[in-house]
Amino acid sequence: MALQFPSFDLTGRVAVVTGGNRGIGRSIALGLASAGASVAILARDGDRNAIVEGELEKFGFPAFADTLDVTDRAALEPAMVHVEKALGPVDILINNAGSADISGGVLEQTEEGWDGAIATHLTATMLLSKIAATSMKARGGGCIVNLGSMYSYFGAGALPSYGAVKGAIVQLTKSMAVELAPHGIRVNAIAPGWIATEMTAVAREDPDWANFHTMLMARTPMARWGEADECAGAVIFLASEAADFVTGVTLPIDGGYSIF
């Protein structure tokens, strides 16, 4: 009798990726489409959205893009309704939208920057998950993947707001996983390390950051920066039936940085 292995195929699934028009979010969106999913991206820049929507359509599956600021609470549910009208009920939600407030530390942290980090990363993740999970529960299952960070575990002296919200994402992921498992909904997270994106360009290219860059490479066993596309495979796995017995985990994608 031949062994039956679980599939990574996402054909017929509908996925939403917030902040899906650049960096890690764009790579995740394209990765999900490459696995057969119909993908919607929700992000603030309409021009970038249109470009990525065109890239998604090249995979031969329906795609959709809508302009959304995830800190606009009143706009979240209408955006998800637009997705369902365009593509169908959402099976996979990727809470990726985010930004980093490099305040320099708590002594320099502004209230505006602090509140913005919580609204963008934590509150939006909770509210969008609530909307998606309500629909998933009615249909008997689904998958949510949140974006953590290496700073979910390590201190971020120059980015206290970012470190705080990314730490909270891990706990929110665990809490939702416990609550939603009886409804067939799995909730996991990924924790990217030092990935080459627009957000990290200064640490890679600015001579003033040369010592910091050297320290990062010395601490990373794979001794290189990760690529955004290298985050997509983990998300495809977590969204697929290959991960049907996986929930509540935060998977590092960091070239071994978190080993130390």
Tell me the catalytic residues. 162
User: What residues have CB less than 8 Å from 166, skipping those under 6 apart?
Assistant: 121, 148, 149, 151, 152, 156, 191
Helix or strand (DSSP H, E) at 165: helix 160-180
Q: How far apart are CA 47 and CA 67, in angstroms?
A: 9
Residue 8: other Cβ atoms inside 10 A = 15
Q: How far apart are CA 147 and CA 96, in angstroms?
A: 5
For the chain, the straight-line distance linking the first and the last C-alpha, in angstroms and rounded, comes to 44
Q: How far apart are CA 116 and CA 101, in angstroms?
A: 9
Helix or strand (DSSP H, E) at 64: strand 63-67
